[in-house]
Amino acid sequence: MKIRHLKASDYPLQTWKNGQGTTLELAVDEKTPYRWRLSSATMIGASEFSLYEGYQRALILLGPGPLHLRHEGAGHRSLASFEVYSFSGDLKTKAELIGAAQDFNVWAKHGEARASVFAMNLKDQERVDFPLKGDEHFIYCVEGSLSLFERNTDHTYQVNPGEMLHLKRLPRKECLDLQAKGEGAARFIWTVIHLAEKTARQKKTTTGKSKGL
């Protein structure tokens, strides 16, 4: 099990693809082109999203809303704070917001990865256990504080706002055994990355061919 406790100083600042803003890259796949990516950006007023063809996006507004999204040729949507919304990165999208707010974004490459994103709330001392499925798990604290206990390593992590715990199963047969407890009222985002099975099969096939040379 590979576990990383990420803090604000670990997130590189990057410019949007369209140059209209900046974003903090929270985590990204090691492969190129990446199969998944997590980031957080500050939105101010009206802006146009960068195109990410071939990716499915999930967006959560962390600040006050509503956020109005207009997809060219595919209608529009108004988002309240802490609401999860998924849409295609192929769509030309414009955002309208009164004032400024932070968001949380997840990208997953079609055919190679799938992302499950959950906006969650915990009361003080309330506990939640996480299911075992998924290749990589990310727990991003938005408000309050989380106490995260991983039973396999017998280690507890204190995760504060803006911090994130990244857990990766190595190998995939490893079981994740994680429990979260709210230290006071807490809000967090749980993201699970599921890598496509065909990617694993292709890798095995490629490895086998290499051994035969």
Do 88 and 169 belong to one domain? no
State the chain's mean pLDDT as an integer: 89
Do 125 and 192 belong to one domain? yes
The last residue of one of the domains, among 46, 78, 109, is 109
Do 79 and 144 belong to one domain? no
Q: How much is the pLDDT for 114?
A: 97
Q: Is residue 206 included in any domain, yes or no?
A: no
Q: Which residues of the chain have pLDDT under 50?
A: 199-213
Instruction: Give the C-alpha separation, 181 to 179, whole Å.
Output: 7
Q: How much is the pLDDT for 213?
A: 32
The last residue of one of the domains, among 61, 86, 109, is 109
What's the domain count of the chain?
Answer: 2
Kindly write down the DSSP assignment for every residue of 136-191, as one continuous string: EEEEEEEES-EEEEETTTTEEEEE-TT-EEEEE-SSTTPPP-EEEEESSSEEEEEE
Q: Which of 116, 110, 66 is nearest to 88 (CA)?
A: 110
The last residue of one of the domains, among 70, 94, 109, is 109
H-helix or E-strand spanning residue 60: strand 55-61
Is residue 160 within 8 Å of 145, Cβ to Cβ? yes
Range of the domain at 93: 8-109
Q: How much is the pLDDT for 123?
A: 95
Q: Which of 136, 133, 139 is nearest to 175 (CA)?
A: 133
| pTM as predicted | 0.89
For position 173, which CATH number holds?
2.60.120.10
